[in-house]
């Protein structure tokens, strides 16, 4: 019996690397290597591996209450976490629905948006709008609203139809001067689509400020405000998928603050517990929540997960939020400054189309070597070269990105950038 490892071409895959322990930004392997984790172990680890404060909070909670059904029951960690989330997210988000991971947070949001209109007496509002190049998860609904073809093409017949609008900067890496023009055009495209489909659209879903799996695409804050305005004009719900961008990743606590906008529904996961345990939350406004209040059981939101609001995960989340407030956001700014300084040297390379950063995320887009995008063969080649130098980086095709945990020191972060520069120089 073996583990079926995700994202692995099994016929040619090398043996997986056995990790025995981790600390800060380092992974320590069974064969004695120490590998610098420059992607926060798939974007989840926020403060660093094995943070002692989070570990202690987990131990305390595990000794008191490990799990209890959240239907008809409650507990202090979930109540406190819900209050914390409402207090720190954009104003107007008042209610918290807990689930398990990013994909389920999005599934909850999609079902919630659809049933909201059903409960309001508008059953024809069943369509969703998303951006090209978006990624929202691996479950059926989340795949349907995603726009990265490699993740969904095999399952196309299982997915529901979604309207897509142009990304405000997807095609403009080579022509930065055109970005304001394209941004306006994309906002007008969204507005026109919502006008044409008036009375049919349940919600627009987007990843605010950074599209993660689509290539760490950083887009202008003005488009975020424009999307909110278009939804308001045409009475459409706005879903912000901050599964990746939430909890400081973009330099603000939540990417919606760049607008600033308040979505009708907000999806959170990944870093919510500091990346230590699975947990997700879908937040809504009172407007959405009130549509489900009724003596008619048929208006109930019939959705739930076995581990909804798990007490141990909630305790980890509460400690992670405390750490973020205790100097965490200041560290985000320090990391961004190092990214910005190091990227300047790469921006002039002939093979670099874009070198940019926002918050903890630095991205370097190379000229495509083959297919371009996620399947460009330069990605696996670069990943092997980085790992041979004991740095964990997993390029998204021809896009190399760095997403360090907050525990990564300045010297360690410079080492990551040094390795990237050395590998680029060697592969020419």
Which residues are designated catalytic? 7, 135, 241, 270
Q: Phi, psi (5° rounding) for residue 243?
A: -55, -40
Residue 125 DSSP class: -
Which three-class secondary structure state does DSSP give residue 39?
coil
β-bridge pairing 280-285 and 93-99: antiparallel
**Phi and psi (nearest 5°) for 93?**
-85, 115
CB 248 within 8 A of CB 287: no
Length of the chain measured in residues: 428
Residue 158 carries which DSSP code? G
Query: CA 110 to CA 328: how far, in whole Å?
Result: 32
Peptide bond into 260 cis (omega under 30): yes
Distance CA 272, CA 318 (A): 9
The residues that bridge with 396 in the sheet, in sequence order, are: 399
Q: How many helices (H) and strands (E) does the chain have?
A: 13, 16
Phi, psi angle pair for 293, to nearest 5°: -80, 115
Q: Which helix (H) or strand (E) holds 208?
A: none
Sheet with 19-23: list strands edge to edge: 19-23, 26-29, 34-37, 391-392
- Distance, in Å, from the CA atom of 213 to the CA atom of 363, rounded to the nearest integer, reads 12
CA 110 – CA 237 distance, rounded (Å): 10
The gap from C-alpha 113 to its chain's centroid, in whole angstroms, comes to 20
Distance CA 279, CA 99 (A): 6
Residue from 178, 177, 171 nearest 372 by CA: 171
Tokens 């305005």 identify what position? 229
**Adjacency order of strands within the sheet including 352-358:** 352-358, 361-366, 399-402
Contact between residue 270 and residue 254 where contact means Cβ atoms under 8 Å apart:
no
């Amino acid at each position: 019996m073996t583990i079926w490892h995700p994202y692995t071409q099994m016929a040619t895959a090398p043996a997986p690397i056995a990790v025995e322990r981790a600390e800060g930004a380092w992974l320590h392997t069974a064969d004695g290597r120490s590998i610098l984790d420059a992607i926060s172990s798939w974007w989840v680890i926020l403060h660093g591996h094995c943070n002692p404060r989070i570990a202690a909070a987990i131990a305390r909670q595990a000794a008191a209450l490990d799990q209890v059904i959240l239907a008809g029951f409650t507990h202090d960690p979930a109540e406190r976490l819900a209050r914390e989330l409402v207090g720190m997210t954009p104003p107007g988000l008042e209610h918290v629905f807990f689930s398990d991971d990013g994909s389920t947070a999005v599934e909850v949001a999609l079902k919630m948006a659809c049933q909201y209109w059903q409960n309001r007496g508008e059953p024809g509002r069943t369509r969703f709008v998303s951006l090209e190049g978006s990624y929202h998860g691996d479950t059926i609904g989340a795949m349907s609203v995603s726009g990265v073809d490699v993740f969904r093409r095999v399952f196309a017949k299982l997915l529901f139809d979604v309207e897509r609008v142009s990304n405000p900067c997807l095609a403009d890496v080579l022509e930065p001067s055109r970005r304001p023009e394209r941004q306006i055009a994309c906002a007008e495209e969204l507005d026109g689509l919502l006008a044409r489909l008036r009375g049919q659209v349940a919600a627009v879903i987007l990843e605010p400020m950074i599209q993660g799996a689509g290539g760490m695409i950083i887009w202008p804050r003005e488009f975020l405000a424009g999307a909110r305005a278009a939804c308001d004009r045409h009475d459409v719900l706005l879903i912000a998928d901050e599964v990746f961008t939430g909890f400081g990743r973009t330099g603000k606590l939540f990417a919606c603050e760049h607008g600033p906008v308040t979505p009708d529904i907000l999806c959170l996961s990944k870093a919510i517990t500091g990346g230590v345990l699975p947990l997700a939350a879908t937040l809504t406004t009172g407007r959405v929540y009130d549509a489900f209040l009724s003596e008619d059981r048929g208006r109930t939101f019939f959705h739930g997960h076995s581990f909804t609001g798990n007490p141990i995960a909630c305790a980890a989340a509460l400690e992670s939020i405390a750490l973020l407030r205790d100097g965490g956001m200041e560290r985000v700014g320090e990391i961004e400054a190092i990214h910005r300084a190091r990227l300047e040297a790469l921006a002039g390379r002939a093979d670099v189309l874009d070198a940019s950063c926002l918050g903890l995320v630095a991205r370097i887009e190379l000229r495509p070597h083959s297919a371009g995008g996620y399947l460009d063969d330069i990605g696996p080649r670069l990943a092997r070269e980085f790992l041979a130098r004991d740095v964990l980086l997993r390029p998204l095709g021809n896009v190399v990105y760095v997403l360090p945990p907050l525990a990564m020191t300045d010297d360690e972060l410079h080492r990551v950038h040094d390795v990237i520069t050395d590998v680029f120089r060697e592969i020419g």
